[in-house]
Amino acid sequence: MPPDDDVRLRHLVDAAETAIRFTAPRTRADLDSDEMLTLALTKLVEIVGEAAKQVTDETRQALPDVPWSAAARMRDRLVHHYFDIDLDVLWSTIQVDLPALLAVIPSPEPER
């Protein structure tokens, strides 16, 4: 795997794990009342998608079970439709999709 992809996967994993951790003590209703939480989670999911977009074809082919395009599309939706984010979809992405994504990504090399 190209070294830059290790960095991108580390960013992806870190952002996904952080989003999951931030929501662990929370409920979906918290997104309606906590703007800071919503903005933080939106940014973390954007990072996941941006990292997925930047991974090389070599790594995409080596990890075919990773939903690369779905992660990238979610990022695009959040960035380009920032005025109309469906908080139910954001919550589901973090609760369902990110754990599934982490399950198919190998642990990235530790940062040196």
Which residue of the set 10, 26, 28, 80 is catalytic?
A: 80
Given this model, what pLDDT does residue 84 score?
A: 87
Hey, what long-range contacts does 65-72 have (CB within 8 A, 24 or more apart)?
65/104, 66/101, 66/104, 66/105, 67/97, 67/101, 70/97, 71/12, 71/101
Which residue of the set 10, 75, 81, 112 is catalytic?
A: 75
Three-class DSSP category at 65: coil
Given this model, what pLDDT does residue 3 score?
A: 81
Question: Is-catalytic flag, 11?
Answer: no
**Residue 45 token pair:** 């999911």
Show me where the domains of the chain are located. 3-103
Residues 45, 74: contact at Cβ < 8 Å?
yes
Residue-level pLDDT, tens digit, the chain, 112 residues: 778 999 999 999 999 999 999 999 999 999 999 999 999 999 999 999 999 999 999 999 999 999 999 999 999 989 998 788 999 999 999 999 999 999 999 876 666 5
Given this model, what pLDDT does residue 63 score?
A: 95
